[in-house]
A and B are shown apart, each in its own frame.
Chain A
Amino acid sequence: MRYKFIVVTFFVFFIQIPEGFAQVRMMAGTNYSNIRHDGRLEKTQGQMSLHLGVNIEVVPLRNIPNLSIKTDLLLIQKGYTLRLDGSRYRVNLEYGSFAPMVKYAVMEDFSIHSGVEFNRFMGSNVGEDVTFRKNEKALFFGFDLFNSKRLSFYTRASFGLTPVLDYYDIDPIEGIQGRISDLYTTTIMLGIQLNIHHEKIRF
């Protein structure tokens, strides 16, 4: 319910803008992800995966053209790789991501951005549906290159604010001791954006 409220609020905000300079882009790239945890896991290492999506960017204030509001709609795979007994076990976490952000163009072809990801869990190759939380929030910041060109680049670092795992604290002999909430994602994204719509539009 809270997520629906955020999405609706965001789009109501968008339609309040009488006239804006809007860009719509397709985006795709690779990401390196890992997790932070309370020492519950054996040795973990990051893993490479992919993301794909679209974004829309508007300049809401005509007198501050360098400041824009942008939101990404992404399919992204996060996760971690466990190393146990010399073998690697890859854990994939798939999310649908809604990521509103504020972006500021420092120069014509260089801008910085920061925002919050609202990630909806879509599936995993481990655990059960009840093992992973349905929603994750993450704070991110990054920068964009060659924004004014048809093809541009971006990179972003994202840090999970809420745990993704709801599971059991299992003692080797004594069994379940209680419930735990742990594992926070860390993701570094790198990708390209293709500008597919770029004009002054009336909402």
Chain B
Amino acid sequence: MKKSGFNTGLFFALGIFLSSCDGFVPDPIDPRLPVYSESGKNQSGAMINNLPFKDHPRVTVFGSPSNGYILNQTDTTLILEFRLSDQNNLNDVKSLHFSIEKLTPGDWKDMEKDFGKKFSFENPSIKGKIITYSNDGEIETLAESGQITVKHIPGSKAMAGTFGFTAQNASGKKYEIRFGRYDYFFQRL
């Protein structure tokens, strides 16, 4: 029986269409970054040394994997990590990792109010770092100053906020992380 190339072509066309679906919603003021949202869009972005880095959902035939996560190991600890890539060079990947410890019930209440609760890196219980990748392995650089704001939106099962900090590693390389924002699905354990 002669095989029809039409169905194969249609399948590939559908595959290309699905793999090209881009869930990126730009910010109206700086379209290089994702819009600030509070609805569990599974996206984040920041200007890292004045270059736009972002993570946003890309729908593929294999699902829409997210490159970020937020979890609480207990009600006293919150871990956030976002793996961001340079929009002009997708091989340039940097991770931003935050850990917030010694959370109190009052902190959780504050995280649901207004724009959320601000955690400064001057507090020793709050840590932020930028992780860069090279052939030699991972290099972690701790935040020296700055903050991360966490807004918990139980209604939409989301955690959103903003961050910004400066960091400098042992070899003197400086990082300035500005206009950071994130919005990920979060279910409190």
| Binding-face segment, A7-15, A52-60, A123-131, A191-199 | A123-131
B35 at the interface (CB under 8 A from A): yes
Assembly CA distance A84 to B29 (angstroms): 11
User: For residue B35, which residues in chain A have a CB less than 8 angstroms away from its CB?
Assistant: 126-128, 131
| Binding-face segment, A26-34, A96-104, A168-176 | A168-176
Q: Are A167 and B29 in contact (CB under 8 A)?
A: yes
User: For residue B118, which residues in chain A have a CB less than 8 angstroms away from its CB?
Assistant: 174-175
Q: Are B178 and A172 in contact (CB under 8 A)?
A: yes
- Secondary structure at chain B's binding surface: helix, strand, loop or mixed? strand
- Chain B residue nearest to A41 in the complex (CB): B29
B165 at the interface (CB under 8 A from A): yes
What is the size category of the interface that chain B forms with chain A? 20 to 34
Assembly CA distance A144 to B161 (angstroms): 51
A202 at the interface (CB under 8 A from B): no
A61 at the interface (CB under 8 A from B): no
Q: Are A165 and B28 in contact (CB under 8 A)?
A: yes
User: For residue B146, which residues in chain A have a CB less than 8 angstroms away from its CB?
Assistant: 173
Q: Are A89 and B26 in contact (CB under 8 A)?
A: yes
User: For residue A151, which residues in chain B have a CB less than 8 angstroms away from its CB?
Assistant: none
Q: Are A84 and B25 in contact (CB under 8 A)?
A: no
Q: Are A128 and B37 in contact (CB under 8 A)?
A: yes
Interface residues contributed by chain A, number (CB under 8 Å): 26
8 Å CB contact of A173 from B25, B27, B161, B165: B165
User: For residue B25, which residues in chain A have a CB less than 8 angstroms away from its CB?
Assistant: 126-128
B44 at the interface (CB under 8 A from A): no
Give the contacts of B16-51 with A (CB-CB under 8 A). Answer: 25-32, 35-37, 39, 47
B95 at the interface (CB under 8 A from A): no
Interface residues of B (CB under 8 A from A): 25-32, 35-37, 39, 47, 115, 118, 146-147, 149, 161-166, 178-181
Give the top 3 A-B pairs by smallest Cβ distance, nearest first. Answer: A175-B162, A173-B164, A172-B178
